[in-house]
Chains A and B, each alone.
Chain A
Amino acid sequence: MTRHFIDEAVDVSGDTLLSLLMVEGHEVGRRFRLGERPVTAGRDSHLDVVLADGEVSRLHCLVSVLDGAVVVEDLGSTNGTFVNSHRISTRAPLSVGSLLRVGEHIFRCERISTRDFERAEEQHRDIQRAASYVKSLLPRPLSDGPIRTEWMLRPSARLGGDALGYQLLHEHTFSIYLIDVSGHGVGAAMLSVSVLNVLREQALPATDVKDPVRVLSTLNTMFQMDRHDDQYFTMWYGVYDSLERTLTYGTAGHHPAYLVPPARGETRPLKASGPVVGAMPEARFQAERTPISAGSLLYLFSDGVFEVRTAERQWRLDDFVPLLAQPVSDDRSECRRLYQEVKSVSRPGPREDDFSLLVVTFP
């Protein structure tokens, strides 16, 4: 392919250009311009599209514009390159509207105006700054101490409405929580960040943060829907006492978290009574308490983890929960194991909701 040939192809429709829009992956919403030169994709940092994805080869594929049409070429990748779910052998056309999958990343081929592309680039930079701020609020995984943690948060849009956290409250007590704001995107993210900051800074007025009922009640007073753009959120909030080895928890319209014993094979739902936060000022919440045995794992997750569509039907919570009890993997984290399990049953295409999962191990 010559440079002259490619440039000619781009100019065919005047001020429009062909692009790849990431619809699933680490930078949902990011666009990549096609046509000025072949676009390379893979794990290597010097490529045009760098994908931090274990299923992607170092140099995975190449996307070019040939005679006004987009062509994708697999460069001998280990796990393959897919166009509309079909693995390509070497080279295949990628028509406008088609989906290109590389590892866990999915792109849609689109033709848009040059002006819209430039505007999207600017928006992307702004959103990236906001996403970076949200990320900075999330806690680092803990690999030592009375609790060990790992988590995965994959927004379905550029910014998500889910947030999670855990922190030392007082000597031997820890709070553990997950928030799921209705919907996703920038509006939902702004509310989840507001709630997250209040919890991180323990800025709930006159509230004992070791008491889940008080925490949920105060949040419900602070975040009524009519003062927060008609958005509500669900929440699971627990307090672990590492001396007593007990977990006290409350839920606000959130499905249960699950406790799995060291022997695996069974799951215990942890849910207390309480509606979503923000729907009614007079809401009442309850708390429950459970002993924690050494080696147990706690799984907290958003509904986007299990509300997926398989080729045949809508998945539900009962479909997902048995996966939690399966043995842990030797070579994958629990978050990655569960993400891949869910992904393997989901129908192709971008996710419809945020995927958020927090796994806490009690040594």
Chain B
Amino acid sequence: MLPIGDHTVGMEVTEAGHNVTRVSLSGRLDTSGVDQIETRFVATLVPQGKSAIVDLSGVEFVASMGIRMLISVARGMRQRQAKLALYGVTSLVQETFDSVSLSDIIPIGADERDALQLVS
């Protein structure tokens, strides 16, 4: 029996240069995972009014709560004239993003360089 709530998510914040924040996420962005990082994720990105790119190469699964967190942060940043772009999306996660047409709401780059261009 696998334990309930056996999810762990990781979040690392670094500078990507050109006044852009880089956030690397890992693990499962489901209800439990989002509960663990949402406060920190929002607090890191929204108040500073600085553009950011989010590396999702370590994220294996995104549920609706994870999408809600990303959209919510993108909207908060937009109100502060800051931009958000995602990159490093795995095929399973891309499938989820495609089904909710997430790229209509948040730009998704093929790689870090592409994502930096999207927020520049």
Given A182-B64, A279-B71, A350-B4, is A314 in contact with B101 using a C-beta cutoff of 8 Å? no
- Residue among B30, B67, B68 with most chain A CB within 10 A: B68
Q: How far is the CB of B71 from chain A (nearest CB, A)?
A: 5
Which residues of chain B have C-beta atoms less than 8 A from A23's C-beta? Answer: 4
B4 touches A349 (CB 8 A): yes
Q: Mark B48-90, 1 if CB is under 8 A from A, else 0.
A: 0000000000001101110110011001000000000000000
Give the nearest-CB partner of B71 in chain A.
A279
Q: How many residues of A contact B (CB 8 A)?
A: 36
B72 touches A253 (CB 8 A): no
Q: Which of B4, B63, B72, B102 contacts A307 (CB 8 A)?
A: B63
Query: How far, in whole Å, are A314 and B95 apart by their CA atoms in the complex?
Result: 13
Counting CB contacts under 8 A, is B110 at the interface? no
A-B Cβ contacts below 8 A, count: 77
B61 touches A273 (CB 8 A): no
Counting CB contacts under 8 A, is A262 at the interface? no
Give the nearest-CB partner of B34 in chain A.
A183
CB-CB contacts below 8 Å: A267-304 with B: 273-276, 279-280, 283, 303
Give the nearest-CB partner of B7 in chain A.
A352
- Interface residues of B, dominant DSSP: helix
Counting CB contacts under 8 A, is B39 at the interface? no
13 of the cross-chain contacts (CB-CB < 8 Å) are A108-B4, A180-B64, A182-B64, A225-B71, A225-B72, A232-B71, A253-B102, A275-B102, A275-B105, A279-B105, A303-B63, A348-B1, A349-B2
Q: Which of A183, A230, A280, A314 contacts B105 (CB 8 A)?
A: A280
Query: How far, in whole Å, are A316 and B93 apart by their CA atoms in the complex?
Result: 10
A84 touches B1 (CB 8 A): yes
Query: How far, in whole Å, are A85 and B67 apart by their CA atoms in the complex?
Result: 32
B residues neighboring A (CB under 8 Å) = 1-2, 4, 30-31, 60-61, 63-65, 67-68, 71-72, 75, 92, 95, 99-102, 104-105
Counting CB contacts under 8 A, is A57 at the interface? no
Which residues of chain B have C-beta atoms less than 8 A from A307's C-beta? Answer: 61, 63
* Extra contacts besides A275-B101, A279-B105 (17): CB < 8 Å: A99-B1, A182-B67, A225-B72, A226-B75, A254-B100, A275-B104, A275-B105, A276-B101, A279-B71, A279-B75, A314-B60, A314-B61, A314-B92, A316-B95, A348-B2, A349-B4, A352-B30
A residues neighboring B (CB under 8 Å) = 23, 84-85, 99, 108, 180, 182-184, 225-226, 230-232, 234, 253-255, 273-276, 279-280, 283, 303, 307, 314, 316-317, 347-350, 352-353
